[in-house]
């Protein structure tokens, strides 16, 4: 069967060189780029966090002045949410989803490349704010009237509004790509009740994104129109209402918490069965729980606004949904715990990170459900208790699964296993550092320490706790750094991984590490929810994979299968490498810098190049016939 592999290689390989470096559409390359770029921004966001913690380590410090402090805590949030966590989880999704469903690529490979380039350009756009010394400084939720042109006259907030509109393009494009890939590209036989749990997590995230990001885009667009062109959406003197901003922002802002956490739950549900050596208990419950969380996530936004002074009826209704959402989340957590208890645990690094994650996520969930109680929320709002809570669910809740993912899928990406000893060391340092750093914030929060204030008076009983928090965050950073070094070192010198270093159940373990350009020599036919465990041919057994597999080696095509039961329906011609996604994203970067600077010529040039890139992208080459 060598000739099948050779023909596929000829069809799918990308040539080395600059053209294909820029023009690549391979989901594996793009996925890794997402991950590496996100890790870079993780380091940036981490440095910002360190500066914040240094400033707060003692009372009355003037290490940072208030203006700089505002810029740094705002950029810390924007960097960590939009440039680290969301793209890192997209990176795993990009790399893993097509492998897990047995496809040759994502549904829209050029759109996928475009999504990555836009993410990179938006990252450059937002970070460049530091170069001109005018980074966003009104907080990541940039409430009006503070963020309007009167109270924040510089370009600081324009970096924010234009930056989030820019990055929304990337997230929406990525989400649509994930949905179509999981809905239409599953290997024959992978009916809806056999979709891997990681894909369910990505799917729930993507569906949420499609409906949540428009709210952010709209809010930011309105704010920018108000700041630059004198519109009056939020201006109370002209009939507007600043509370509208809060509604629109949190209609995006709460679902985004689930956009972050759902893929993390997906990683968890992938890692647990592998290291508990048994199938996930309550597969259907886990899937329904994740979907219910994604849906209910749209009905809880007002709990960020309990202290605004809204009518009691709105508060009560949102309070109820905020309590209800803990039920599906609880079901998912209980399914993990039941699986772990009834399995035979192998304590390898990915599993350690997941066990640590479960503990942190449950602590964050418990402080989260407290906010559903209106009086408690009103008492603790804008205090460090809130900071503690969202770092447990969003920072710990996303970061520990991301690190589990690095140890779990890293070998699939690089072909080499990460060092186990240093992995465990890294985990324990991170776990201890995280709790030392963030748990005391609950205490100082209850003692009344407000968030977003650059310093505090001595003698309030906060000094010791703040020092401990700072030490904890630095311990945590050391642990994270060990993993990054371990990853870099192991990619060159680690043990060879083979196809399946951990004995996983899902399809990505049925191909080589790293996988070939075409992912699978034969698209396998799936007969089980745990294909690699139950189908010996996928582990290189006696029966060859081509029995019942489809080689598709006549053309550059992939399978389209039916939505529910994954019957083969058609072969779809896939696009080749293209430089236009890069050209379009570069043009948009120029366009956005034009809007920022107010030079209409730059806007025009960016717009023209963007239009030309779209024409080039869509221009029919070779065959003019529709496929």
Partner 1 sequence: MTIGTLDTGVPGESLPDFATGSRSFSWWGMVLLICTEATLFGLLIASYFYLRFRGGVVWPPDGIAKPTLSTVSVMTPILLLSSVPVHLGEHAVRKGHMIRARFAFLLGWLMGATFLLIQLVKEYPDTLKLFTPRTDVYGSLFFSLTGLHGLHVFVGLLMSLWIQVRLWKGAFTPERHVSVQNFTLYWHFVDVVWIFVFGTIYLSPHF
Residue 402 CA to residue 318 CA, distance in Å, equals: 31
Percentages (nearest 5) of helix, strand, coil residues in the chain: 70, 5, 30
Q: What angle do CA 437, 441, 446 make, to 5 degrees?
A: 165
Residue 79 CA to residue 75 CA, distance in Å, equals: 6
- The residues in 149-208 that bind partner 1, with binding defined as CB under 8 A, are 172, 175-176, 179-180, 183-185
Q: Which of 215, 293, 404, 603 binds partner 1 (CB under 8 A)?
A: 215
Q: Which of 131, 284, 601, 618 binds partner 1 (CB under 8 A)?
A: 618
Q: Does position 308 bind partner 1 by CB under 8 A? A: no
What is the CA 480 to chain-centroid distance, rounded? 18
Q: Does position 443 bind partner 1 by CB under 8 A? A: no
What is the closest distance, in whole angstroms, from the C-beta atom of residue 621 to partner 1 in the complex?
12
Give bridge partners of residue 560 from the DSSP assignment. 570
Q: Does position 571 bind partner 1 by CB under 8 A? A: yes
Nearer to partner 1, 569 or 597 (CB): 569
Structure tokens at 297: 């996530």
| Window 331-370: contact mask with partner 1 (x via CB under 8 A) | ----------------------------------------
Residue 154 CA to residue 134 CA, distance in Å, equals: 7
> Phi and psi dihedrals of 586, rounded to 5?
-65, -45
Q: Which of 107, 113, 354, 398 binds partner 1 (CB under 8 A)?
A: 107
Residue 337 CA to residue 333 CA, distance in Å, equals: 6
Residue 516 DSSP label: P
Q: Does position 609 bind partner 1 by CB under 8 A? A: no
| Window contacting partner 1 (CB under 8 A); options: 144-152, 244-252, 262-270, 423-431 | 244-252
Q: Does position 553 bind partner 1 by CB under 8 A? A: yes
Nearer to partner 1, 359 or 612 (CB): 612
- The residues in 15-44 that bind partner 1, with binding defined as CB under 8 A, are none
Q: Does position 568 bind partner 1 by CB under 8 A? A: yes
Q: Does position 563 bind partner 1 by CB under 8 A? A: yes
Structure tokens at 291: 């979907």
Nearer to partner 1, 218 or 446 (CB): 218
Give bridge partners of residue 203 from the DSSP assignment. none
Q: Does position 627 bind partner 1 by CB under 8 A? A: yes
Nearer to partner 1, 223 or 589 (CB): 223
Nearer to partner 1, 26 or 70 (CB): 26
> Phi and psi dihedrals of 5, rounded to 5?
-60, -40
Helical packing angle, 420-446 and 463-493, nearest 10°: 160
Q: Does position 9 bind partner 1 by CB under 8 A? A: no
Residue 517 CA to residue 522 CA, distance in Å, equals: 13
What is the closest distance, in whole angstroms, from the C-beta atom of residue 218 to partner 1 in the complex?
5
Work out whether the CA dihedral 281, 284, 287, 292 comes out positive or negative.
negative
Answer for the pair 189, 525: CB distance below 8 angstroms, yes or no: yes
Q: β-pairing, 557-561 with 568-573?
A: antiparallel
> Residue 387: which residues within 8 A CB-CB, separation 6 or more?
441, 445, 451
> Residue 248: which residues within 8 A CB-CB, separation 6 or more?
215, 216, 218, 219, 222
> Phi and psi dihedrals of 573, rounded to 5?
-70, 130
What is the closest distance, in whole angstroms, from the C-beta atom of residue 181 to partner 1 in the complex?
8
What is the closest distance, in whole angstroms, from the C-beta atom of residue 623 to partner 1 in the complex?
9
Q: Which of 151, 154, 238, 564 binds partner 1 (CB under 8 A)?
A: 238
Q: Which of 51, 61, 244, 324 binds partner 1 (CB under 8 A)?
A: 244
Residue 417 CA to residue 486 CA, distance in Å, equals: 10
Residue 109 CA to residue 115 CA, distance in Å, equals: 10
Size of the site for partner 1 (CB under 8 A): 62
What is the closest distance, in whole angstroms, from the C-beta atom of residue 525 to partner 1 in the complex?
9
Q: Does position 239 bind partner 1 by CB under 8 A? A: yes
Nearer to partner 1, 321 or 560 (CB): 560
Nearest CA to 417 among 362, 497, 338, 313? Answer: 497
Q: Which of 33, 391, 442, 522 binds partner 1 (CB under 8 A)?
A: 522
What is the closest distance, in whole angstroms, from the C-beta atom of residue 383 to partner 1 in the complex?
29
What is the closest distance, in whole angstroms, from the C-beta atom of residue 227 to partner 1 in the complex?
13
Residues that bind partner 1 (CB under 8 A): 107-108, 111, 172, 175-176, 179-180, 183-185, 210-211, 213-215, 217-218, 222, 225-226, 229-233, 235, 238-241, 243-244, 247-248, 251, 522, 546, 548-555, 557, 559-560, 563, 568-573, 618, 620, 624-627
């Amino acid at each position: 069967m060598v000739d099948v592999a050779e023909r596929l290689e000829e069809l799918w390989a990308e040539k080395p060189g600059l053209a294909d470096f820029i023009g690549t559409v391979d989901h594996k390359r793009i996925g890794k780029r997402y991950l590496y770029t996100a890790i870079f921004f993780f380091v940036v966001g981490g440095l910002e966090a360190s500066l914040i913690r240094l400033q707060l380590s003692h009372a009355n410090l003037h290490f940072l002045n208030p203006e700089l402090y505002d810029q740094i805590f705002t950029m810390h949030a924007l960097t960590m949410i939009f440039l680290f966590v969301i793209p890192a989880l997209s990176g795993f999704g990009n790399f893993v989803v097509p492998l897990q469903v047995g496809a040759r690529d994502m549904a829209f490979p050029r759109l996928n490349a475009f999504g990555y380039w836009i993410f990179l350009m938006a990252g450059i756009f937002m970070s460049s704010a530091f170069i001109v010394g005018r980074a966003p400084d009104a907080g990541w939720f940039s409430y009006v009237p503070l963020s309007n042109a009167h109270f924040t006259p510089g370009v600081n907030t324009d970096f924010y509004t234009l930056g989030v509109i820019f990055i929304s393009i990337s997230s929406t494009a990525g989400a649509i790509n994930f949905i179509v890939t999981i809905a239409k590209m599953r290997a024959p036989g992978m009916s809806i009740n056999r979709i891997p749990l990681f894909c369910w997590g990505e799917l729930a995230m993507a569906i949420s994104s499609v409906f949540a990001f428009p709210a952010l885009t709209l809010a930011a667009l309105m704010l920018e129109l108000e700041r630059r062109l004198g519109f009056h959406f939020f201006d109370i003197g002209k009939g507007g209402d600043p509370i509208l901003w809060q509604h629109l922002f949190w209609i995006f802002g709460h679902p985004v918490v689930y956009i972050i956490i759902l893929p993390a739950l997906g990683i968890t549900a992938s890692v647990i069965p592998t290291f508990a050596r048994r199938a996930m208990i309550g597969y259907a419950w886990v899937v329904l729980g994740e979907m219910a969380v994604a849906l209910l996530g749209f009905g809880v936004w007002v709990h960020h606004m309990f202290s605004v002074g809204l009518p009691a009826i709105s508060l009560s209704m949102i309070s109820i949904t905020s309590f209800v959402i803990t039920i599906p989340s609880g079901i998912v957590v209980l399914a993990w715990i039941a699986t772990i208890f009834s399995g035979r645990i192998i304590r390898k690094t990915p599993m350690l990170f997941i066990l640590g994650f479960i503990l942190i996520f449950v602590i964050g969930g418990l402080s989260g459900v407290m906010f559903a109680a209106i009086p408690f929320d009103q008492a603790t709002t804008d205090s460090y208790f809130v900071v503690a809570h969202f770092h447990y669910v969003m920072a710990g809740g996303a970061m520990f699964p991301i690190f589990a993912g690095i140890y779990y899928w890293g070998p699939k990406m690089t072909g080499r296993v990460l060092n186990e000893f240093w992995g465990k060391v890294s985990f324990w340092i991170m776990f201890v550092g995280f709790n030392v750093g963030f748990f005391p914030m609950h205490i100082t929060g209850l003692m009344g320490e407000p968030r977003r204030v650059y310093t505090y008076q001595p003698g309030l009983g906060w000094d010791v706790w703040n020092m401990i928090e700072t030490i904890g965050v630095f311990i945590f950073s050391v642990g994270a750094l060990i993993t990054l070094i371990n990853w870099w070192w192991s990619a060159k010198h680690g043990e060879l991984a083979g196809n399946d270093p951990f004995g996983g159940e899902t399809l990505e373990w049925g191909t080589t590490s790293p996988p070939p350009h075409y992912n699978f020599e034969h698209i396998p036919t799936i007969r089980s929810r745990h294909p690699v465990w139950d189908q010996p041919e996928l582990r290189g057994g006696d029966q060859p994979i081509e029995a019942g597999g489809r080689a598709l080696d006549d053309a550059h095509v992939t399978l389209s299968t039916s939505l529910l039961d994954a019957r083969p329906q058609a072969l779809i011609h896939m696009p080749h490498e293209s430089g236009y996604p890069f050209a379009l994203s570069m043009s948009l970067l120029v366009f956005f810098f034009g809007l920022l600077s107010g030079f209409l010529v730059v806007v025009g040039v960016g717009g023209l190049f963007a239009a030309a890139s779209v024409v080039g992208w869509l221009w029919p080459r070779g065959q003019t016939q529709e496929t």
